[in-house]
Structure 1
Amino acid sequence: MATQRKKKETTQEIIVSWYTDYCLSHGKKPNSVYEFSKQNGFEEAHFYKHFASFEELESDYFSKMFYYTVDLIKENKEYAQYDSTQKLISFYFTFFEMATANRSFVKFLLEEGKLPVKNITKLKTLRLDFLMFIKTILEAPLKVENEKITNIQNKLVHEGAWLQFASIISFWMRDTSPSFEKTDIYIEKSVKASFDMVYNVPIESIVDFAKFIWKEKIGSGFTYKN
C-alpha cells in the first residue's frame, strides 16, 4: 500500500533516504521510478529533476561519499602539512569510516544481483572523482624533461592508486574482524608498500604487505562470504 504523503517537491537527500530505506527493507530495488515515487507520495517528475535513473542515483551516492570525505579531511588544519602518504591514508581512513556507517547499503549496492562484478559500474563517478583528487597528491616518480614520458608515469601512478582503492573496498566488504580493524591494517600496509615500490624501492615493506595478504587469504582469521 502506498504511503500517504502530501505530494510536494522533494530534495535529493530525501529521495536517496527513501531509496536506501526501500532497498534495505525489501532486499531489492523498486521495480520502477513510478512505483517508487507513488509509494513515497511525490511526483515522478521530481525524481528526474535529480537523477536520470536508479543507476545514476547509486553512482552519485558514492560520489557524495567521496566529496564529504574530502571536506572532512581538509577541515583538519594539519592536513595541509601532511606528506602524500599521510594524505592518502587520511583519505582512506575517513572514507571507510563513512562507508562503515552506511555498510548495509554500500554492500547492497556492490553485491546486488547474481553478477556482482557488474556493480563496479556504480563506482564510475567515484573513480573519476578519485583520479582528480589523486592528481593533487601524487607525482611521477622520475623527473624527466620528456612530457610524454611524464604523462605516462602520471597515468600509471594514478591508475595504480585507483586499483589500490578498489582493492581496499573489496577487502573491507569481506572483512569480518571487530571494528574492521584488519581493513585499517590493510590500508596502512598497502599504502606504505605502494609508495616504497614506486618512490623508494626498498623490499621490506613490500614483503611485509605480501605476508599480511597471504595470511589473510590462507589463514583461518579471514572468512570469505559469498
Structure 2
Amino acid sequence: MEKVAPKKTSKVDKRAKIISSFKMYILENGKAPVSVFKFCRDIKIKEAEFYAYFPNFNAIKGAVWQEIFSNTLSILRAEPVYNEYSSREKLLAFFYTWIEELKHNRSYLLAIYDTEGLPPKSLPEELRGFREDFKAYAKEVIKEGEESEEIAQRPYITDKYDEAVWLQVMFLFRFWIKDQSAGFEKTDQAIEKSVNFAFDLMGKSALDSFVDFAKFLYQSR
C-alpha cells in the first residue's frame, strides 16, 4: 500500500493557530500569557516558530485588530451595492459591519480592555497597524467624497480629515465596549449620529456657501 505523506502545516495555518490559541488563553485566563516559552509549550510549538511570526504578545493583539478590519472590508466589498454608495454611506456601512465583527470578539476584547475601553490619550501599541490600515481606507473614501463634491476641499484642513475619522473609530469602540443596551442599539445610534455629524462638518456648509457668495459679489463689482 502506498504511504500517504503527512500534510505539512502551512505558514498561514501556523500563524492562525498562534492567534487563535492566544485568544483562547485570554478567554480562559482573563489576561495575556506572561511567558512566550510556556505559551509555546502549552500549544505544542517551538519557541522559534512563535518568533517567526510575532516578536511579542502585543504583536498578536495587533494582528487581531487588523484581522477584524480586514474581515470588515472583505464583507463590504463582497456586496456589489457597496461600490454604488456615497462616501457617507460607505463609512456608515463600514462602522455597522465593523461593530458586527467586534461582537464576535467581545469577550476577548473585554478581557483585555474591560469596560474602560482604551486609554483616553495614548494609543496602545497594538492598534498602530490597524490605525494605518484604517486611515488608508478612510483616505480612499474621503477622496471619492471630494471628487463627487460630497466633501468640501479646504486648505490645511482636508489633509486632516482621515485623522478626524480615525478619532471616530476610537470614540465608537469606547462607546460600544461600555454599551449595555439590547442588541447594542445605542451603538447603532451613535454610529449614525457621529458619521452624519462628521459629514456635515466635512461637507459644504452654510458658511462655505456664504464665503462663495461673498467672493462672487466681490468679483462681480
2:133 is equivalent to residue 125 of structure 1? no
2:76 is equivalent to residue 73 of structure 1? yes
8 A contact 1:73–1:94 mirrored in 2: yes
Alpha-carbon distance between aligned partners in 1 of 2:55 and 2:181, rounded to the nearest angstrom? 38
Q: Corresponding residue for 2:107?
A: 104
Deviation at 1:121, TM superposition (A): 2.7
2:192 is equivalent to residue 191 of structure 1? no
**Paired amino acid for 1:181:** E
**Paired amino acid for 1:121:** E
Alpha-carbon distance between aligned partners in 2 of 1:115 and 1:88, rounded to the nearest angstrom? 22
Deviates more, 1:132-141 or 1:162-171: 132-141
SS in 2 for 1:137: helix
Alpha-carbon distance between aligned partners in 2 of 1:16 and 1:134, rounded to the nearest angstrom? 27
Q: Corresponding residue for 2:173?
A: 169
Alpha-carbon distance between aligned partners in 2 of 1:77 and 1:170, rounded to the nearest angstrom? 31
Going from structure 1 to structure 2, the CA distance change for 1:115 and 1:183 (only over 3 Å counts) comes to: closer
| Residue in structure 2 matching 1:137, options 134, 137, 141 | 141
Alpha-carbon distance between aligned partners in 1 of 2:92 and 2:199, rounded to the nearest angstrom? 11
Give 1 or 2 for the bigger CA radius of gyration. 2
Q: Corresponding residue for 1:53?
A: 56
Going from structure 1 to structure 2, the CA distance change for 1:39 and 1:119 (only over 3 Å counts) comes to: farther
Which sections of structure 1, spanning at least 5 residues, go unmatched?
1-7, 203-226
Going from structure 1 to structure 2, the CA distance change for 1:137 and 1:116 (only over 3 Å counts) comes to: closer
Structure 1 runs of 4+ off > 3 angstroms? Answer: 139-144
Aligned length: 189
**Paired amino acid for 2:109:** V
- The 5 A counterparts of 1:1-40 are 11-40=14-43
**Paired amino acid for 1:81:** E
Q: Corresponding residue for 2:97?
A: 94
SS in 1 for 2:31: coil
User: C-alpha offsets along residues 144-183 of structure 1, whole Å, 9 cap, x if unaligned?
Assistant: 7xxxx3xx33332110000011100110011000111110
SS in 1 for 2:103: helix
RMSD: 2.4
Tell me the TM-score normalised to structure 1 length: 0.77
Deviation at 1:42, TM superposition (A): 1.2
| Residue in structure 2 matching 1:178, options 169, 182, 189 | 182
8 A contact 1:109–1:119 mirrored in 2: no
8 A contact 1:131–1:159 mirrored in 2: yes
Name the % identity: 29
